[in-house]
Amino acid sequence: MRDDQREASRRRLLDAALGILAEEGYRGLTVKKVGDRAGVSRGMVNYHFSSKAGLVEAVVHDIREVFLDRLRALPGYEHMTGFEAVLAKLEQYFSALAEPGPGVRARALLVLLVEAVGSSGEAAQPPLAGQLDLVRTGVEDDIRQGIADGSIRPGVDPRAQAFLLESLARGVLLQYQVDPSRVRLEEVGRAAREMVLLALAPGKRKG
C-alpha cells in the first residue's frame, strides 16, 4: 500500500471512529463498526491501530492535533508571550465550539470524558488521560513562559492554573453539548477571558 493510500485509509478510519463515538459512545465503538463505516476490512483497523484502545488513543490525539494546527495557523503565534498564548488557546477553544452545530470532535471528546468515569469506559482512561496531560502541560508551559517573559505575574502556580483552565473548558463543553441553547458562548468567552486576565496578568490589566 502506498503512503498516500495508507494515510487516506487511516483518515477514513479516524473519521468513522469519531462519528461512532459521537453517536453511540465508547461502548458502541467496535472494530467491526469502524471498518464497516470506513468501507475497509476489520483487519485494516488492527493494521493501523492494533486495538480498540489504540484507536481511541489515535482519536484523542487527532482531536488535540486539529486544535493545535488551528493555533499554529494564527498570525504570529510562534512569537506570542506566554500570556498571549494562554489567551489564544482559550479564544480558539470558544471559537471552535461556536462553529455551526456541536462539532463531531467536541461531541466525541465529551463522550470519552464522561464514559471514562464509569466502568464501561475504563479501557479509555489511559489513552485519554495521556493526551489530556499533554494539553494541560502545554498550558503550564505557556504560563511558565509568561512568568519568565513578564507577561504573567510572578507567584502564579502554573500547574494549578492550567488545571483550572482545563476544568473550565471541559465544563463549558459539557454544558454546550447538553443544551447549546442555554450557553451564550460569546458572553461566556468574554467572562472566561476576564477571569484569565484577573488571575494571571500582572497588576490591573484590561483586555
- pLDDT on residue 38: 92
Tens digit of pLDDT for each residue in 110-141? 788 777 665 455 555 666 666 667 778 899 99
Contacts of residue 60, Cβ cutoff 8 Å, sequence gap at least 6: 109, 112, 127, 128, 131, 132
Grid cell 500547574 is found at 159
> C-alpha grid cell for residue 95?
471559537
The proportion of the chain whose per-residue pLDDT surpasses 70, expressed as a percent, equals 87
DSSP state of 141: H
**39-47: long-range contacts (C-beta < 8 A, 24 or more apart)?**
39/12, 40/9, 40/12, 40/13, 44/9, 44/13, 45/13
DSSP three-state, residue 151: coil
Domains within the chain, CATH numbers bracketed = 52-200 (1.10.357.10)
Sign of the CA dihedral with 201 first, then 203, 204, and 207 last? negative
The pLDDT profile of the chain, 207 residues, written as one tens digit per residue, is: 577 888 889 999 999 999 998 888 888 899 999 999 999 888 888 899 988 888 888 988 888 888 889 889 999 999 999 999 999 999 888 877 766 555 788 788 878 877 766 545 555 566 666 666 777 889 999 999 999 999 999 999 999 999 999 888 888 877 877 777 777 878 888 899 999 999 999 875 444
